[in-house]
A and B are shown apart, each in its own frame.
Chain A
Amino acid sequence: MSDSLTYAYYPGCSGTGTSIEYDMSTRAICAELGITLTDIPDWSCCGSTPAHTVDHTLSSALSARNLALVEKMDLDTAITPCPSCLTNLKTATHRMEKDVFREKVNNLLDTPYQGGVATKSVLQILVEDMGVKALKDKTVKPLKGLKVAAYYGCIMNRPPEVMNFDDPEHPMAMDNILTALGATVLPFPLKVECCGASFGIPRKDIVMNLSGKLLDAAKDIGADALATACPLCQMNLDLRQDQINSSGGTNYDIPVFYYTQLIGLALGLSEKKLGIDKLCVSPRKVINAIGRDEAS
């Protein structure tokens, strides 16, 4: 581990709202691990899915505005917790390698983006720059006894040519981290299956079906909890868990953590700092169980 882990940080819109606990726990663990996050000043929305369904130049321009801001910061790497932001930033970078496309995008911007900023997920720098061993060494409250399913969501690692991290079908980054922290990570067959994404509002039936399958699979393998890396996945599985129960006649009661919250618990950070109270399905029983095992 080097002392100079410094990155431009892109919280993303949900990080300031619906996934505030992802942002809080990310900032808290980075501070604890000696990773410096400098917020991209006056960052704007990446356009998420809606922008790329309208036009690729528009979508890339919304991302490139932020990358141009990073260029001014004299930092070479931008990181974000959110896979949707990540995929937009990375896709823009990838497509703008072509001169004609870069010119079209830059025509829409006040400040053109030259290229050259690397974009990574927080998960990626944790395993590649910090290292799983360093995380293990800093663990003061191991997650002993926690049986967890690591759920990556669909776009953190796909398509591989663009995302360029871990495995597109069987990613292991979160599995490896959580195992190092003392948890029992169960083999979860749906780790990259889509949760229904942003259809929660316009076509709830889709999310009920797809997220329902995920909860069903998690229950089947005996998971006490799910670990997620995506604000939308977390929201579909946690906030909508009651809706899924009503629509499918089920009674799931599975807490859905951000993996950064679990890291924070293992590092001994307070629940308040990690925004544990922001979760909808109460994780109380699960957290108490980890505590009891630790005491025994």
Chain B
Amino acid sequence: MEIVNITKSYDANFVRQVEDESGQIMSQCYQCGNCTAGCPYTFVYDQPVNQIMRLVQAGQKETVLKSKSLWLCATCESCTTRCPNNIDVAHIMDVLRHMARRNGYSPVPTVKSFWDSFLSSVENNGRAFEIGLLVSYIAKTGRFWTDLDLGPKILPKGKMHFTPPNMQGKEEVKKIFNRFREESRK
């Protein structure tokens, strides 16, 4: 782990904000490392999850919010389940992602694009429309070769639809997203 001069860059507001939004008490983490020991994603993380926890304690807002780890966490709940101090670590990772989004960080653009494509599919159709979301993902990322090899396996089995799901109340779902955006602007 790199050396951080916390007297220069400690951001008390950041720590408070993470605690407020997650309902967790950061000082309860004593760095046992259990979360990292069980995390299946450490091999692709730039900061292991216990170091994310430590960096939040140390008020290192920028280092944390630009970390790739936030976007590579799958919320598998290993960390939360195994924390000896009952800290909901996965919830903190979620909250950090929210903050990273609000601050405009997107260090793993493919993951963000995929999640965004999924959500716009839900917003527009009420339910996920897989082929539609793939097209939107490819348009966002230019990765047109994504999973081309799977087409012949899955299409003949009738497991993907070429038209959006037929959901009557889809306008109701759209309103949820609209109201959410209005509330967020307040």
Stretch of B6-14, B57-65, B105-113 contacting A (4+ beta carbons < 8 Å): B105-113
Please state if B74 and A49 are interface contacts (CB–CB under 8 Å).
yes
Question: What are the interface flags for A43-70 relative to B under an 8 Å C-beta threshold, 1 for contact and 0 otherwise?
Answer: 0110111111111111001100100000
A197 — which chain B residues lie within 8 A by C-beta?
74-76
Please state if B130 and A61 are interface contacts (CB–CB under 8 Å).
no
Distance (whole angstroms) from the CB of A174 to the closest CB of chain B: 18
Please state if B157 and A50 are interface contacts (CB–CB under 8 Å).
no
Please state if A168 and B154 are interface contacts (CB–CB under 8 Å).
no
- Complex: chain B residue closest to A110, CB-CB: B172
Asked if A44 meets B114 with Cβ closer than 8 Å, knowing A155-B75, A194-B40, A239-B153, the reply is: no
Please state if B183 and A201 are interface contacts (CB–CB under 8 Å).
no
Please state if B77 and A158 are interface contacts (CB–CB under 8 Å).
yes
Bound: A56/B170 CA distance, A: 21
Stretch of A10-18, A113-121, A181-189, A287-295 contacting B (4+ beta carbons < 8 Å): A10-18
Please state if B159 and A20 are interface contacts (CB–CB under 8 Å).
yes
- Kindly state whether residue B165 has any CB partner on chain A within 8 Å: yes
Please state if A55 and B80 are interface contacts (CB–CB under 8 Å).
no
- Kindly state whether residue B29 has any CB partner on chain A within 8 Å: no
B154 — which chain A residues lie within 8 A by C-beta?
18, 239, 280
Bound: A20/B157 CA distance, A: 10
Question: What are the interface flags for A150-186 relative to B under an 8 Å C-beta threshold, 1 for contact and 0 otherwise?
Answer: 0000110011100000001100000000000000000
- Complex: chain B residue closest to A281, CB-CB: B153
Please tell me the number of chain B residues within 8 Å of chain A, measured between CB atoms.
Answer: 59
B177 — which chain A residues lie within 8 A by C-beta?
58
Asked if A159 meets B80 with Cβ closer than 8 Å, knowing A45-B173, A202-B113, the reply is: yes
Bound: A239/B150 CA distance, A: 7
B78 — which chain A residues lie within 8 A by C-beta?
154, 158, 194
Please state if A54 and B81 are interface contacts (CB–CB under 8 Å).
no
Bound: A242/B94 CA distance, A: 32
Query: Contact partner of B115 among A16, A54, A196, A239, CB < 8 A?
Result: A54
Bound: A155/B77 CA distance, A: 7
- Complex: chain A residue closest to B90, CB-CB: A159
Stretch of A1-9, A126-134, A203-211, A218-226 contacting B (4+ beta carbons < 8 Å): A203-211
Bound: A13/B154 CA distance, A: 16
A49 — which chain B residues lie within 8 A by C-beta?
74-75, 115
Please state if A169 and B81 are interface contacts (CB–CB under 8 Å).
yes
Please state if A45 and B77 are interface contacts (CB–CB under 8 Å).
no
Distance (whole angstroms) from the CB of B153 to the closest CB of chain A: 5
Query: Contact partner of B159 among A169, A196, A278, CB < 8 A?
Result: A278
- Kindly state whether residue A42 has any CB partner on chain B within 8 Å: yes
Query: Contact partner of A44 among B77, B126, B130, B150, CB < 8 A?
Result: B126
Question: What are the interface flags for B105-140 relative to A under an 8 Å C-beta threshold, 1 for contact and 0 otherwise?
Answer: 000101101111011001000111010001001000
B176 — which chain A residues lie within 8 A by C-beta?
58, 61-62, 65, 108-109
Distance (whole angstroms) from the CB of B123 to the closest CB of chain A: 9
Bound: A49/B75 CA distance, A: 8
Please state if A44 and B180 are interface contacts (CB–CB under 8 Å).
no
- Kindly state whether residue A107 has any CB partner on chain B within 8 Å: yes
- Kindly state whether residue B169 has any CB partner on chain A within 8 Å: yes
Please name the 8 residue pairs, one residue from A and one from B, whose CB atoms are nearest each other, closest first.
A154-B76, A50-B115, A194-B76, A202-B110, A158-B77, A197-B74, A13-B128, A202-B114
* A residues whose Cβ falls under 8 Å from a Cβ of B: 13-14, 16-20, 42, 44-45, 47-58, 61-62, 65, 104, 107-110, 154-155, 158-160, 168-169, 193-194, 196-206, 209-210, 239-240, 242-243, 277-278, 280
What are 7 sample pairs from A and B whose C-beta atoms fall under 8 A apart?
A14-B128, A49-B75, A108-B176, A194-B76, A198-B74, A202-B137, A280-B153
* B residues whose Cβ falls under 8 Å from a Cβ of A: 40-41, 43-44, 72, 74-78, 80-81, 88, 90, 94, 97-98, 101, 108, 110-111, 113-116, 118-119, 122, 126-128, 130, 134, 137, 146-147, 149-150, 153-154, 157-161, 165, 167-170, 172-173, 175-177, 179-180, 183-184
Contacts A17-B130, A17-B160, A194-B78 known; list 9 others, CB within 8 Å: A13-B130, A47-B119, A53-B97, A58-B180, A169-B81, A194-B40, A196-B74, A202-B113, A203-B44
